[in-house]
Amino acid sequence: MNSTQSKECLQGVRSLQNANCVVMVPPKEFRYNAETAQDNEFQHKVELSEQQVRDNAMAEFKSMVVSLREEGVQVVEFDYPVSEKETPDAVFPNNWFSTTPTGELFVFPMACQNRQLEVRPEALVKSLSNSGRKVTSNSSLVSFVENDAYLESTGVMVMDHVNRIIYAALSHRCDREVLEEYAQRVGYERVISFQTGLPSGQPIYHTNVMMAVGESFCVICDELIPEFERRFVLKSLAKDKQVISISLEQMNQFCGNILQLENANGDKLIAMSLSAFNAFTTVQKSQLSTHGKLLPFDVSTIENIGGGSVRCMLGEVFLPRG
């Protein structure tokens, strides 16, 4: 399916912002990843043994899966065979694939070599099919790796599906050329890319750590964006969304790494970590609650060591049933 056809198909589902199905990957090889730590300032080493780390991470994962299913969200557990080379960050599947309501599966170029091993599209298609979700076409941007150009899916792209806008903080993991190529393929009308600056002087490694977009709200740590770009980003978001600004300290507790979902009945839910929930102010929680039931999950081991939180653990599935 070309971009024009994809765009035409999406005309009928413009209001679909939230997935009611997600892919989650068990953290059976989870550990501190030295490769990704080179530009992910959210990762931390701990004194626990690797087995203790994995046991804790697996308990957090299982609890989250159970809770989401109890809330009526379909969870596809995508397991995989262990190979000689470990994939310590496999618990964050949203970085290597995305799906569309028209049945397309996109796979993306990952920046770190041990994360490139996570990309298993054939196995994922089979798992999705077994769960009643139909992939009608495949599209890959993985070849950009040969040019040292990367685009880590919905880690670096925060999607406004209603308005067909992609928000993206440019970085080593978010190449402008690949970003524009994806937008063209998927038929999205606008790409709003921008620079960011952490106190260290480095850019944010993933956009979805600093911002989230829901159907009628957004959360954003806008102080990271240079002023001349910040105004443009906020103006675009404020056109039809309630803008909830978070501080750098709140972002460091993963308040930006949240995701609005729907259950089988169409009820709105907002998944977040317990640390994020505790860091939001009372006013912000009240604001967010108007957009969905708040679902805090304790994933402290995963977010402290892996540098990603609840949103990173959820690969949205917009595929049709089939």
Asked whether residue 186 is domain-assigned, the answer is yes
Residue % of the chain over a pLDDT of 90: 87
Number of domains in the chain: 1
Cα–Cα distance between 210 and 156 in angstroms, integer?
A: 10
Asked whether residue 132 is domain-assigned, the answer is yes
In tens, the pLDDT along 162-180 reads 999 999 999 999 999 999 9
Task: State whether the Cα torsion 284-241-307-118 is positive or negative.
Answer: positive
What CATH number does the domain containing 305 carry?
3.75.10.10
Cα–Cα distance between 85 and 140 in angstroms, integer?
A: 23
Asked if the model's pLDDT at residue 286 lies above 80, the reply is yes
Query: Are residues 157 and 182 in contact, defined by beta-carbon separation less than 8 angstroms?
Result: yes
For 202, residues 6+ apart whose C-beta sits below 8 A from its C-beta are 39, 41
Asked if the model's pLDDT at residue 281 lies above 80, the reply is yes
pLDDT of the residue at 147: 96
pLDDT of the residue at 53: 94
Cα–Cα nearest to 319, from 21, 14, 15, 120: 21
pLDDT of the residue at 11: 37
Determine whether 11 is exposed, middle or buried from the number of CB atoms within 10 Å of its CB (0-12, 13-18, 19+): exposed
Asked whether residue 24 is domain-assigned, the answer is yes
Asked if the model's pLDDT at residue 80 lies above 90, the reply is no
Cα–Cα nearest to 38, from 95, 108, 114, 98: 114
Asked whether residue 177 is domain-assigned, the answer is yes
Domain that holds residue 205: 3-316
What interhelical angle do 3-10 and 176-186 show, nearest 10?
Answer: 60
Asked whether residue 322 is domain-assigned, the answer is no
Lowest mean pLDDT among 58-67, 79-88, 211-220: 79-88
Backbone angles phi, psi at 221, to 5 degrees: -90, 80
Lowest mean pLDDT among 26-35, 58-67, 135-144: 26-35
pLDDT of the residue at 14: 32
Q: What's the whole-model pTM score? A: 0.93
Asked whether residue 36 is domain-assigned, the answer is yes
Asked whether residue 22 is domain-assigned, the answer is yes
Give the confidence band of 15 by pLDDT, cuts at 50, 70, 90.
Answer: very low
Query: Are residues 155 and 312 in contact, defined by beta-carbon separation less than 8 angstroms?
Result: yes
pLDDT of the residue at 12: 36
Count of other CB atoms within 10 angstroms of residue 88:
23
Asked whether residue 321 is domain-assigned, the answer is no
Asked if the model's pLDDT at residue 205 lies above 50, the reply is yes
In tens, the pLDDT along 86-131 reads 999 999 999 999 999 999 999 999 999 999 999 999 999 999 999 9
Cα–Cα distance between 84 and 89 in angstroms, integer?
A: 15
Give the confidence band of 40 by pLDDT, cuts at 50, 70, 90.
Answer: confident
Cα–Cα nearest to 239, from 155, 157, 169, 160: 160
